[in-house]
């Protein structure tokens, strides 16, 4: 029947085969774990690369937005600069016109060796025709101060200042008592 030594050899062979199968399974499990670790490391590397690309893309988009905003601000600044230059040119033209009008306030001899300021002509005037002088009643202040007041009133009138404001300025700043008649002469009498 069975030999006693033959069964032990078969059992030993089975044990050896089982041990080899277990060892082989252990090696396979280790290979699976090693592969899983490599795959996990690769996934982590891929995720880091993807995150870096995403951040770089967002940084570029942010830089483009900032660049567009800077361009918009530069365009607005250029527009404002152009408008400022236009305002400066208009201001210079207005000053030149005011100087021209002020220069048309002429000195007319009064007969006593002095002179008085003449009428302001704000419309084109035939320079060969004499200007109508303004007659001034006596004043408590010097002629020079009065002339300064008349010049200032003329400038204010050209600038469109209200008559009452000009009269107030003449009375308070230049002590001109007949301010209302002087303003009437500058503007033309109210009945004109």
Report how far residue 14's alpha carbon sits from residue 80's, in angstroms, rounded to the nearest whole number. Answer: 97
Is residue 126 left, alpha or beta, with left meaning phi > 0 and alpha meaning psi from -120 to 50? beta
pLDDT of residue 57: 93
pLDDT of residue 182: 86
Report how far residue 62's alpha carbon sits from residue 55's, in angstroms, rounded to the nearest whole number. Answer: 10
pLDDT of residue 29: 85
Tell me phi and psi for residue 46, to 5 degrees: -60, -40
What the block records as the tokens of 3 is 């030999």
Chain position carrying tokens 């008085």? 116
Contact 131, 106 (CB under 8 A): yes
Tell me phi and psi for residue 171, to 5 degrees: -70, -45
What the block records as the tokens of 95 is 């000053």
Q: Is 67 helix (H, G, I), strand (E, B) or coil?
A: helix
pLDDT of residue 68: 93
pLDDT of residue 11: 67
Mean pLDDT by 10 residues, the chain (192 residues): 57 74 81 91 93 92 92 87 85 79 54 48 45 45 77 87 91 88 78 48
Report how far residue 167's alpha carbon sits from residue 122's, in angstroms, rounded to the nearest whole number. Answer: 20
pTM of structure: 0.32
**Residue spans of alpha helices (H) in 104-162:** 143-158
Q: Is 138 helix (H, G, I), strand (E, B) or coil?
A: coil
């Amino acid at each position: 029947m069975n030999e006693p030594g033959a069964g032990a050899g078969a059992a030993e062979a089975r044990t050896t085969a089982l041990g080899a199968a277990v060892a082989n399974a252990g090696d396979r499990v280790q290979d699976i774990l090693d592969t899983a670790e490599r795959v996990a490391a690769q996934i982590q590397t891929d995720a880091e690369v993807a995150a870096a690309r995403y951040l770089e893309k967002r940084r570029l988009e942010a830089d483009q937005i900032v660049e567009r905003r800077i361009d918009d601000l530069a365009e607005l600044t250029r527009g404002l600069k152009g408008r400022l230059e236009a305002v400066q040119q208009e201001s210079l033209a207005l000053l030149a016109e005011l100087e021209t009008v002020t220069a048309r306030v002429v000195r007319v001899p009064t007969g006593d060796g002095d002179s008085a300021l003449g009428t302001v002509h704000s419309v084109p005037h035939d320079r060969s025709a004499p200007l109508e002088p303004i007659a001034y009643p006596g004043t408590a202040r010097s002629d020079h101060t009065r002339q300064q007041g008349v010049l200032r009133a003329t400038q204010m009138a050209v600038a469109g200042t209200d008559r009452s404001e000009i009269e107030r300025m003449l009375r308070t700043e230049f002590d001109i008592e007949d301010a209302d008649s002087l303003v009437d002469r500058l503007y033309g009498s109210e009945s004109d």
